[in-house]
Amino acid sequence: MSVARVIVDVPSRDTDRPFDYSIPERLRGWTEVGSRVAVPFGNRTLQGIVVGLPDEPEAGPAGGRRLKELIDVLDALPPLSAELVELGEWMSRRWVCPLTVALQAMLPSALKGKAEKYISLPHGRTWPSELLLVDAGFRALLERGAPVKLSYLLEHYPQEADTIKRMLRSGELTESQKVEDRLSVRTVLTVFPRSEEAMRAAIAELGKRAPKQREALEFLIARPEPIPQQQLAEAVKTTIGTVKALGDKGWVDIRPVEEDRDPYAGRSFAPTKPMELTPAQRSAYEPIAAAIREERSEVFLLHGVTGSGKTEIYLQAIQTSLTLGKEAIVLVPEIALTPQMVERFKGRFGERVAVMHSRLSNGERYDEWRKIREGRAQVVVGARSAIFAPFARIGLIVIDEEHETTYKQEESPKYHARDVAAERARLHGAAVVLGSATPSLETYSAAVLPGDRDAAAGRSWTPVYVPLPERVAARPLPKVSLVDMREELRLGNRAMFSRALSQGIEDRLGRQEQIVLLLNRRGYSTFVMCRSCGYTASCPHCDIALTYHRGSNNLRCHYCGYAEREPEACPSCQSPHIRFFGTGTQKVEEALANTFPGIRVIRMDVDTTTEKGSHEKWLSQFRDRKADVLLGTQMVAKGLDFPLVTLVGVLAADSALKLPDFRSPERTFQLLTQVAGRAGRHELPGEVIIQTYEPEHPCIAAVQGHDYAAFTEQELRHRRVLGYPPFGRLITITLSHEQVPLLHTLGESIASKLRARAASEGVRQTVASGTGASLEVLGPVPSPIPRLKDRYRYQCMVKYRGEVDAVGWTADALRELAETIKRSGATVGVDVDPQMML
């Protein structure tokens, strides 16, 4: 019997188990593990993914009964491989989410609907010889040039499944679909040559007339491949009219062919050659290359100060992988997916690079994804979800700026790309390189304290520590000075810029060098407050301060989109002294213009970069010296490499230090170190000026001394005592519902189930002190965001240490309470190893 085990695409806990279906004869050749299928479910038709092809259906309630049949297979090639299905199963255990949620996260969104698929010959390819093996009817269809509907193939050519799938995998055939997209697909009129005899006959018929037509035909005889009409005309130096004439006479076939949407089309990337590695780079590169060659799934922490040449090491390691016929995945933070970064990879590997980030349209994403699957790209550079790139032989995975929070997905599946990378690498025998100037404390402690049982708890990988302590060519790290803003005020300077920073800007303007200014806005406010009574405007649905938007002059909620007009008087005390507070980048821009007349400023923040391509526009203007200052939020801190930047200024360095998140100092240290690293990366020496209200804070002091080790040592000591990550680990369970009492009861049931489990397994219930396994449950308490979209939110926090399967226990507790939860109408979300405590 032919059975498909299917996970249906309903993201709930009670359908989170496989269901068995029988595979009808006609679909047998098309059904694989990873196939997307349509199945009957109750009285509905649902989509699902095949996760197994067992010999026999599972005995169980449905055991004796006849299985229902699969209705349809939705793609010619399964969009997921067996390896990705296995990875999804691991993710669903690791982050306590339904399997379908993990599997869907791996698919480009274009593949989520039920769009008709078409099979065709990719343009610009010769007729594959294997076509001769397939049924003549199918071949004739393809040769007529029209894409063939997959449903038609499924019905009429079930026996050709294997051949067609093999040709799709090797890129000899291509599978496509219409994608609802704001970018429409471009088509190109393409000339398809006929057989050589036919064209020779045409030449004979022409005789001495129309020499250009003859030349075009000869060109096609010499190079019998489809060619865009325009290109053919150019190749034989003639007009489109001449080429059209060939088509009109029926000597060649001319028809529109879909073109790949290429987000980087028309942009040329200057080719680069590998640089001679410095001795330090070489000793970092060697062990990585060895792991790739020996197919050892080893994880490396490449800890290199800013400008130490990490990227060049990535490039050469990728080359090593490609030389062995293997593929490479490079993850960079979303924010760093600027042309500068993409350029470095495209410049080295050209067409073999696919790029994936959230600013691509659905269609562009789908095209890049197909490029990978059909073997036309061997390197992908992308944001978090590029970790699921459908490669089959991965040799290397690079995660640049591995400490970045964007690698953690904040909605379900709440995975961390770093852990997924380690697991995927294990399945492929691939090396992983985690690169950073300021590694996360989790990765760092796992690398340098490998024997520490507490630090290693629950992590299946131990990174090899590879330091790069100096900049390339012994360029010095920039000098960092701190300015105490309280002192400035005491001396009567109320301006936004300290005297030192003003002087620094003045000097650079005089020397025609460039300046990067960072406004650390996290935790900084753009809210509206009444100066008379202290009233602040907050969202009536979410209990979150509303944010002021200058453009539209209104106040908006970032969570639910609620908007209201800016009030003219305080709603609470009627005072007119209600106003917009805090320093936004716009204010800094105004202050710059007032203080330094004629200064040219590029401002980069969420407001100026919403438009597609705006990032790139600003950065290339800055590079072309069309501005003196690049001013912005976090996005100016990462990955930029401009030779003329000799001054970096930081406004409000400590604004985020006090946020009630235990990682606040770590994040501040990382951000300031990153931005400081933008200065003096080339011949000109750099300087950094940090304005702060707390120069004595150890975090700020460590930035000044470029002292990662000192900062980390102290921070780790603190975390060890309190049982925070990396020594203890956390799970937050968030419940939401319209009614508080219900949340309270439900929260209590979850908490007491976990406490009872700990007691029955003899696990200590205080985490902060002592050694060995321990677990405690905090809460239920209102969440940091106590209400969202009119639903109240409560959370329980599980804190644990040592060898305790807290994740498994949490999953068990929720499974046992599934019925109660469902009846109550509450929603439950689990976040394993949460990154954002706010």
Ligand X SMILES: Nc1ncnc2c1ncn2[C@@H]1O[C@H](COP(=O)(O)OP(=O)(O)OP(=O)(O)O)[C@@H](O)[C@H]1O
3-class SS of residue 775: strand
Tell me the window of 280-288, 523-531, 619-627, 793-801 that interacts with Zn ion (CB under 5 A): 523-531
* 6 or 528: CB nearest Zn ion: 528
Q: Which does 382 bind (CB under 5 to 8 A by kind): ligand X, Zn ion, none?
A: none
Contact partner at residue 2 from Zn ion, ligand X, none, CB < 5 to 8 Å by partner kind? none
- Of residues 303 through 342, those in contact with ligand X by CB under 6 A are 304, 306-312
Minimum distance between the CB of residue 302 and ligand X, rounded to whole angstroms?
9
Unique residue bearing structure tokens 């200057």: 270
Distance CA 525, CA 251 (A): 70
Query: Scanning the structure block, which residue is given the tokens 């393409």?
Result: 190
Residue type, 488: E
Which of the listed partners (ligand X, Zn ion, none) does 308 bind, with a CB threshold of 5 to 8 Å by partner kind?
Answer: ligand X
Which of 81, 213, 278, 361 binds ligand X (CB under 6 A)? It is: 278
Of 111-119, 192-200, 274-282, 790-798, the window that binds ligand X (rule: CB under 6 A) is 274-282
Contact 365, 109 (CB under 8 A): yes
- The length of the chain is 838
Q: How far is the CB of 278 from ligand X (least distance, A)?
A: 5
Give the one entry of Zn ion, ligand X, none that residue 99 binds, where binding means its C-beta sits below a cut-off of 5 to 8 angstroms depending on kind.
none
Residue 665 binds which one of Zn ion, ligand X, none, with CB within 5 to 8 A depending on kind? none
| Continuous segment of H or E residues that includes residue 788 | strand 774-788
Instruction: Give the sheet arrangement for strand 728-737, strand by strand.
Output: 774-788, 791-801, 728-737, 827-832
812 exposure class (CB count in 10 Å sphere: 0-12, 13-18, 19+): middle
Residue 315 CB, nearest distance to ligand X (Å)? 8
Closest to ligand X by CB, 314 vs 497, is: 314
Residue 532 vs 749, nearer CB to Zn ion: 532
Residue type, 275: M
Q: How many residues lie near Zn ion (CB under 5 A)?
A: 15
Q: Cα-flanking dihedrals φ and ψ of residue 559, to 5°? A: -90, -45
Minimum CB distance to ligand X, residue 404 (Å): 12
Q: Choose between 314 and 548: whose C-beta lies nearer to ligand X.
A: 314
What is the residue whose two structure tokens read 């970064």? 341
* DSSP letters for 515-539: EEEEE--TT----EEETTT--B-B-
Cβ proximity to Zn ion, 529 vs 630, nearer residue: 529
Q: How deeply is 304 buried, as exposed, middle or buried, from its count of CB atoms within 10 A (0-12, 13-18, 19+)?
A: buried
Binding site partner of 304, from ligand X, Zn ion, none, Cβ cut-off 5-8 A by kind: ligand X
Among 5, 73, 6, which Cα is nearest to 36's? 73
Residue 485 neighbours by CB under 8 Å, 6+ apart: 498, 691, 692, 693
Q: Is 802 in the site for ligand X (CB under 6 A)?
A: no
Site for Zn ion in 546-585 (CB under 5 A): 557, 559-560, 562, 570, 572-573, 575
Instruction: Report the alpha-carbon angle 362-365-371, nearest 5.
Output: 145
CB 277 to ligand X: min, Å: 5
- Residue 435 beta carbon to ligand X: minimum distance, rounded to whole angstroms: 7
Site for ligand X in 460-519 (CB under 6 A): 472
Residue 559's binding partner among Zn ion, ligand X, none (Cβ under 5 to 8 angstroms by kind) is Zn ion
Which among 8, 14, 3 is positioned nearest to 68, based on CA atoms?
Answer: 3
Footprint (CB under 6 A) of ligand X, residues 679-718: 681
> Cβ closer to Zn ion: 73 or 542?
542
Interacting residues of 610 by C-beta distance below 8 A, sequence separation 6+: none
Measure the CA–CA gap between 191 and 232, rounded to whole angstroms.
8
Footprint on residues 617-646 left by ligand X (CB under 6 A) = 639, 641
By CB under 6 A, how many residues form the interface with ligand X?
19
Within 411-450, the residues that bind ligand X by CB under 6 A are 437
Alpha-carbon distance 237 to 212, whole Å?
8
Stretch that binds ligand X, among 226-234, 272-280, 476-484, 827-835 (CB under 6 A): 272-280
DSSP 8-state symbol, 416: B
Biggest CA–CA distance in the chain, Å, is: 98
Compute the least distance from the CB of residue 473 to ligand X, in Å.
Answer: 6
Nearer to ligand X, 99 or 301 (CB): 301
Give the position of tokens 């890049």: 368
Q: Which does 310 bind (CB under 5 to 8 A by kind): Zn ion, ligand X, none?
A: ligand X
Smallest distance from the beta carbon of 586 to ligand X, in angstroms? 28
Q: Does 736 engage in binding with ligand X (CB under 6 A)?
A: no
Instruction: Provide the sign of the torsion angle of the four alpha carbons 320, 321, 325, 328, taken in this order.
Output: negative
Task: List binders of Zn ion among 528-547 (CB under 5 A).
Answer: 530, 532-533, 535, 539, 541-542
275 binds, among Zn ion, ligand X, none (CB under 5 to 8 A by kind): ligand X
From the list Zn ion, ligand X, none, which binds 570 (C-beta under 5 to 8 Å, kind-based)?
Zn ion
Helices (H), 374-483: 417-428, 441-448, 453-456
Among 280, 276, 282, 227, smallest CA distance to 252 is for 227
Q: Would you state the structure tokens that stand for residue 84, as one six-digit string? A: 């990705």
Per partner kind, with CB cut-offs from 5 to 8 A, the member of Zn ion, ligand X, none near residue 309 is ligand X
- Provide, rounded to whole angstroms, the least separation between the CB of residue 311 and ligand X: 3
> Could you say whether residue 281 binds ligand X (CB under 6 A)?
yes
Helix (H) or strand (E) holding 589: helix 585-595
Binding site feature residues:
530, 533, 539, 542, 557, 560, 570, 573
Residue 385 binds which entry of Zn ion, ligand X, none, CB below 5-8 Å type-dependent: none
Q: Which of 91, 31, 25, 76 is nearest to 416 (CA)?
A: 91
Q: Which residues of 585-598 are buried (b: 16+ CB within 10 A; e: fewer)?
A: bbebbeebeeebee
Residues tagged in the binding site annotation for Zn(2+): 530, 533, 539, 542, 557, 560, 570, 573
- Binding-site ranges for Zn ion (CB under 5 A): 530, 532-533, 535, 539, 541-542, 557, 559-560, 562, 570, 572-573, 575
- Binding-site ranges for ligand X (CB under 6 A): 275-278, 281, 304, 306-312, 437, 472, 639, 641, 677, 681
